[in-house]
Structure 1
């Protein structure tokens, strides 16, 4: 069954790439648009930041599984910082260091989930 799952994953790698770039593009568009999302106060804002970059980190792994973990983490961190940087130029948006902390938390949790999956996958490989 494990071999079958890995074959399906490899078969749909292009689909994961399309989903990753779609989610990444949507996040960048929403993050850099002049109007903020409807719920920007309280924990909702931190959930948007952490959840979005968590999803991008996991989708990044599904689309590009051979990348080093630090490359994946650095690229996702840079996306979060770039969004905050652009937000600092919009008069209706504001850049905040706590948003960068939330972005970083989402990336770190995503990297930990990927690492746990790889650890689990390594222990489940059939003996050759």
Structure 2
């Protein structure tokens, strides 16, 4: 388990380093005023919702950690694709808020998975207790 966590940390760190060098974000976009715009909240909420839905729905087949990494990759791919569109800009801050959304969604999905995994009272056999 520790090895998986260590490799996940290494991978996410490498992903952030790649994003930092790939996404040319002007310094004026890294100001506090730019960080509190509605666009950033939309990124956070979109990836929060995607993670919160993906983990309970797909968690039976794919581990939550892998799903989180897939969503992190999706966030970076979206930002890299925007770099090729003249009307858009690839913003490292957007990617950061994507990551916050994935992290918050992952944390919120932990109790949700436990709650969804519990047997309902109708599913419990009163004679056997299960």
TM-score w.r.t. structure 2 length? 0.59
The gaps in structure 2 that reach 5 residues or longer are 1-33
1:97 shift after superposition = 1.0
The gaps in structure 1 that reach 5 residues or longer are 1-40
In 1, the alpha carbon distance for the partners of 2:105 and 2:81 equals 24
1:52 matches 2:46: yes
Greater C-alpha radius of gyration: 2
In 2, the alpha carbon distance for the partners of 1:52 and 1:113 equals 14
**Aligned CA-pair RMSD:** 2.0
Q: Which residue of the partner structure matches residue 65 of structure 2?
A: 70
TM-score w.r.t. structure 1 length? 0.59
2:75 counterpart (80, 86, 89): 80
